[in-house]
Amino acid sequence: MLKGNMVIGQSGGPTAVINQSLVGAILAARQADAIEKILGAHHGLQGIMNEDFIDLTTQDEAQLEAVAATPAAALGSVRLKPGKAECERVFEVFRKHHVRYFFYIGGNDSAETAYIIAEMAREANYEFCTMHIPKTIDNDLKVTDHCPGFASAARFVALAFMGDDRDNAALSGVKINVVMGRHAGFLTAAAALARQSDSDGPHLIYLPERVFDVARFQQDVRNVMARYGRCVVAVSEGVGDADGNPIASSGERDSHGNIQLSGTGALGDALAAHVKAAFAGETVRVRADTFGYLQRSFPSVVSEVDAREAREVGAFAVNHAVNTAEPASIAIRRLSSTPYASEYFSTPLSSVAREATEMKDAYINAEGNDVTQAWLDYAEPLVGDLPLIGRL
């Protein structure tokens, strides 16, 4: 048995349930003979390099439960792709602190980090197990049926569209809502769960998996307005033109080379201008909202399935590590949609690192401006029951 201390860290964009995974891992580690001290790294790799740890070995359990129910990363997060020098420093710290287990909670960038570190340990013959614990509101990890964090963000998006569609029905006009999701449209597609009757919005859904053509968008909106006298649009922040260029952005990039799309209203305002141009000479109320960071960290809007699975994935990762000492990521297999049932399994780090996935064709309609029933069947059990819309 590989015996020693463990480090756990959180990385990338926070979610509403990332702390469930943290607490699930901590509580499982407390039961594991192989694990001595449990060290939380502040701000992921950054904290490891700075030896900035918090000892979680005996932290009060009630306090941990409060943390589990609190959105965003309680340890602090980071967006950092380690180079050779950073990895060497990480190992220096791990050796110094007798760390034999490393758990990194994050998306595919974090899986890549975990993979690099696992490879370095192997080359250095340092007995060590690195685990990736999946989380991402984008739902874009490979192998797994879905990612912890997605369903809670999807629930926020569905509720937001449900209320905003009633708002739009009350005052009419065109309403554009920009939803997070850089390359994958899963979260934007969750807007479709808001519909409870034929005329309910969102009436149009644009995903980054399809080319966004401004002229077609304008025509789509004109068609919906002609039919319903109003139009609610869900559009992913990641939509791009035929050459893959964003429709509008601030131009800023992070250390993974990702361009900044969130935290700016640029795309919403650009699309609103396109709609106004499409109705030039007519009086049409056009508004755009960008849901922004609320989607991933709103307290009290959590999917029950998501909270439970996020917790269990954290525990599963720890148990896998102490039982096998094999570096891996954890994935979810759906056993049934009605009633919903799932199980967990391990998958090689290389299978989820770097490359992400996106919406399959079966989830997107032929016109590329809506989702299909197959998508709704996939998403509904994850998001859970939504309030019923009352109508006169």
202 upstream amide cis, omega within 30 of 0: yes
Of 295 and 347, the one with the shorter C-beta distance to its own copies is 295
Q: Of 197, 236, 204, 241, nearest to 220 (Cα)?
A: 204
Site string for its own copies, 78-97 (x = CB under 8 A): xx------------------
Q: Tell whether residue 136 is a contact of its own copies (CB under 8 A).
A: no
Q: Tell whether residue 76 is a contact of its own copies (CB under 8 A).
A: yes
Whether residue 317 contacts residue 25, with contact meaning beta carbons closer than 8 Å, is answered with: yes
Listed as own residue / partner, the contacts of 340-346 with beta carbons closer than 8 Å and 24 or more positions apart are 340/305, 340/381, 340/382, 342/145, 342/309, 344/312, 344/313, 344/316, 346/320
Tokens 């937001």 correspond to: 160
**106-125 positions binding its own copies, by CB under 8 A:** none
Of 111 and 266, the one with the shorter C-beta distance to its own copies is 266
> 13, 24, 327, 384: which one contacts its own copies (CB under 8 A)?
13
The H or E element spanning position 38 is strand 35-41
Of 203 and 296, the one with the shorter C-beta distance to its own copies is 296
State the number of binding residues for its own copies (CB under 8 A).
68
Q: Tell whether residue 249 is a contact of its own copies (CB under 8 A).
A: no
Q: Tell whether residue 353 is a contact of its own copies (CB under 8 A).
A: no
208 upstream amide cis, omega within 30 of 0: no
CA 12/CA 136 separation, integer angstroms: 8
Contact region for its own copies (CB under 8 A) — 1-9, 158-166, 310-318, 328-336?
Answer: 158-166
Q: Tell whether residue 325 is a contact of its own copies (CB under 8 A).
A: no
Contact region for its own copies (CB under 8 A) — 294-302, 311-319, 346-354, 364-372?
Answer: 294-302
Site string for its own copies, 255-274 (x = CB under 8 A): -------xxxxx-xx--x--
Q: Is the four-CA dihedral 60, 65, 70, 75 of positive or negative sign?
A: positive
Tokens matching residue 189: 């597609």
Q: Using DSSP bridges, classify how beta strands 173-179 and 4-10 pair: parallel, antiparallel or unpaired.
A: unpaired
Q: Tell whether residue 151 is a contact of its own copies (CB under 8 A).
A: no
Contact region for its own copies (CB under 8 A) — 31-39, 138-146, 217-225, 287-295?
Answer: 287-295
CA 74/CA 25 separation, integer angstroms: 14
> 297, 346, 347, 357: which one contacts its own copies (CB under 8 A)?
297
Q: Tell whether residue 191 is a contact of its own copies (CB under 8 A).
A: no
Whether residue 150 contacts residue 186, with contact meaning beta carbons closer than 8 Å, is answered with: yes
Active centre residues (catalytic):
138
CB 352, min distance to its own copies, A: 22
The residues near 243 (Cβ < 8 Å, ≥ 6 apart) are none
Whether residue 119 contacts residue 108, with contact meaning beta carbons closer than 8 Å, is answered with: no
Of 180 and 317, the one with the shorter C-beta distance to its own copies is 180
Tokens matching residue 388: 């019923």
Query: Which stretches of the chain bind its own copies, using CB under 8 A?
Result: 10, 13-14, 16, 19, 40, 43, 54, 56, 59, 63-79, 159-160, 162-164, 166-167, 169-171, 175, 262-266, 268-269, 272, 286-294, 296-301, 386-392
